[in-house]
């Protein structure tokens, strides 16, 4: 039986996507007749059974990761090719899109053996620089400061890292949107009333950045880990050896699934190949205050030094 469901075509995360659910955040349509890499399907209980070991956490089979968002939907990510969504009572399309473009895509990238880092990526002078860190470290705020200085966003939240034909690590663009807390909006003089709050996060907002978006793959130039420290001023230090592996492992999106997916060895080899080509740094910012433009200036100086040594 041929499906009569309307389908939408997009290009994001380095993938051609066919979706039965409209994803307005992805305003980059796939080229005509492109081979589809990922299918996002909306099914009912009678059409597809998703088995969960429990209603909390992830259920992992050989080629499938499933989870439930209570009062919203069931999700299944299969073979790196399909995302299945089954609406539940209380379904909210905006909340569902957050999970599809976040958790589901992060898991799908791992299934396809594309490394998803958790952070923001900015294009500077022909190279991509990833800013990773724990929740609340200020990754998106720092990326916004770069954007305000005229640089372009490549990805926010899930950063897809692949390799070029000559084994150079490359960042694939995701989609032109940031997620910022109201405090950050206030610091940048932005009126929160102009933006859409994220579902159940009334003080965090979706910020379109269509005019400040880099929509092509770009070589990875470096990775900066943003952390909070006790010092009163910003400190930046180069990280070497095993610390680079720690940064990549700790800031892999949904990295807790690597062991269950049998991808620990792949992740180590993939990380080795990345670290062979780029440098990693740790940015230590004061807990008491956050001056993103000061960080931007210091990071740009490091980037310039790195480029002059190439």
Tokens 């740094």 belong to residue: 281
The Cα–Cα gap between 29 and 6 comes to 15
282 alpha-carbon distance from chain centroid: 19
User: pLDDT value at position 179?
Assistant: 84
User: pLDDT value at position 303?
Assistant: 84
Q: May I ask the CATH class of domain 115-308?
A: alpha beta
Query: Is residue 156 within 8 Å of 178, Cβ to Cβ?
Result: yes
**Quick one: how many helices (H) and strands (E) in the chain?**
7, 17
Nearest CA among 31, 193, 198 for reference residue 101: 198
3-state secondary structure 131-197: EECCCCCCHHHHHHHHHHCCCEEEEEEEEEEEECCCCCEEECCCCCEEEEEHHHHHHCCCCHHHCEE
Q: Report the half-sphere exposure of 43 (CA within 13 A, side-chain side).
A: 16
Long-range CB contacts (within 8 A, 24+) of 102-105? 102/157, 102/158, 103/67, 103/75, 103/254, 104/75, 104/77, 105/13, 105/158, 105/174
User: pLDDT value at position 31?
Assistant: 66
What are the pLDDT tens digits along the chain (310 aa)? 344 578 899 999 999 999 999 999 997 676 666 689 999 999 986 656 677 877 779 999 888 999 999 889 999 999 999 999 999 988 888 889 999 999 999 999 999 999 999 999 999 999 999 999 998 888 999 999 999 999 999 999 999 999 999 999 999 999 999 987 777 777 777 877 787 777 665 688 788 898 999 999 999 999 999 998 877 778 889 998 899 999 999 999 999 999 999 999 999 999 999 999 999 999 998 887 778 888 899 899 888 776 655 5
User: pLDDT value at position 294?
Assistant: 86
Query: Is residue 173 within 8 Å of 155, Cβ to Cβ?
Result: yes
Tokens standing for residue 210: 């269509």
Q: Report the half-sphere exposure of 231 (CA within 13 A, side-chain side).
A: 8
Burial class (CB in 10 A: 0-12, 13-18, 19+), 35: exposed
Tell me the domain boundaries of the chain.
8-111, 115-308
Query: Is residue 267 within 8 Å of 71, Cβ to Cβ?
Result: no
Tokens standing for residue 191: 């009126």
């Amino acid at each position: 039986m041929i499906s009569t469901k309307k389908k939408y075509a997009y290009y994001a995360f380095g993938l051609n996507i066919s979706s039965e659910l409209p994803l307005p955040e992805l305003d980059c349509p796939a080229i005509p007749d492109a081979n589809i890499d990922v299918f996002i399907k909306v099914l009912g209980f009678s059409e597809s059974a998703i088995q969960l070991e429990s209603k909390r956490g992830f259920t992992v089979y050989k080629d499938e990761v499933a989870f439930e968002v209570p009062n919203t939907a069931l999700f299944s990510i299969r073979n790196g090719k399909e995302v299945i969504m089954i609406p539940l009572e209380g379904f909210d399309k905006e909340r569902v899109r957050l999970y599809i473009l976040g958790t589901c895509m992060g898991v799908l990238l791992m299934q396809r053996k594309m490394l998803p880092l958790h952070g923001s990526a900015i294009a500077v002078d022909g190279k991509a620089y990833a800013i990773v860190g724990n929740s609340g470290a200020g990754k998106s705020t720092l990326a916004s400061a770069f954007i305000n200085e005229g640089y372009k966003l490549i990805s926010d939240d899930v950063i897809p890292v692949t390799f070029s034909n000559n084994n150079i690590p490359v960042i694939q663009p995701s989609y032109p949107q940031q997620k910022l807390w109201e405090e950050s909006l206030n610091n940048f003089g932005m009126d929160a009333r102009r933006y859409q709050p994220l579902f159940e996060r009334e003080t965090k907002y979706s910020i379109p950045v269509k005019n400040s978006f880099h929509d092509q793959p770009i070589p990875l130039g470096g990775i900066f880990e943003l952390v909070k420290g006790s010092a009163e001023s910003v400190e930046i230090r180069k990280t070497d050896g095993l610390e680079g592996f720690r940064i990549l492992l700790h800031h892999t999106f949904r990295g807790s699934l690597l062991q269950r997916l049998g991808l620990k060895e792949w992740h180590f080899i993939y990380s080795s190949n990345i670290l062979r080509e780029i440098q990693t740094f740790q940015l230590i910012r004061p807990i008491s205050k956050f001056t993103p433009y000061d960080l931007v200036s210091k990071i740009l100086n490091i980037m310039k030094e790195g480029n002059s040594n190439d």
